[in-house]
Amino acid sequence: MANTHSYLAGLGNVASYQASSRPYLSSSISVSGNFEVIEISFPTVTKFITVKNIGPTGSNYVDLRVGFSAYGVSGSNYLVLNNQESFSADWKVSKVYLRIDSGSALTTAATINATASVIAGLTGIDSYELTHNWTGSTGVG
């Protein structure tokens, strides 16, 4: 009796990261000035990701926190993008979180929103394969 195996791409599948990725683009993501956390979920695990802080219109600037959990961007595990700054990395993630930085030069935080864009390359690996619990409490924001 022959055994049939169904092989699926997983996190350790090197070919999933060597092959061209499927594009994911999202612009005009509104990040509220009331320090609300915005979650961006990807349909599959990413090969790379770029986040850009487009900032608000006008002469004000808003710094944007980027992390891997709501707790991380609300706590101390995040990176900060200044107005018009972007960051790219080969991140293997299924979600990214955005929040306005409380150190931003805002006259009234609730009146100014930031705008962000996210570009990612998606692998064929289902998001459920990434089972890590990145709560933001262990250095992973």
Q: Which long-range contacts (CB under 8 A, 24 or more apart) does 101-107 make?
A: 101/62, 101/63, 101/64, 101/65, 102/35, 103/63, 104/61, 104/62, 104/63, 105/60, 105/61, 105/62, 106/33, 106/60, 106/62, 107/60
DSSP character at residue 21 = P
Place of tokens 């600037």: 61
Task: Give 1's pLDDT tier (boundaries 50, 70, 90).
Answer: low
Burial profile 122-134: b = 16 or more Cβ within 10 angstroms, e = fewer: bbbbebebbeeeb
Question: pTM to 2 decimals?
Answer: 0.83
CB atoms within 10 A of CB 91: 16
Q: Which domains does the chain have, with CATH numbers?
A: 14-124 (2.60.120.770)
pLDDT digit string (tens) for 7-59?
A: 677 777 788 878 888 999 998 898 887 788 999 999 999 999 999 999 876 66
What's the pLDDT at 53? 94
Give residue 107's pLDDT: 47
Q: Alpha-carbon distance 73 to 84, whole Å?
A: 19
pLDDT tens digits along 86-137: 999 998 899 999 999 876 655 455 567 789 999 999 999 888 887 665 655 5
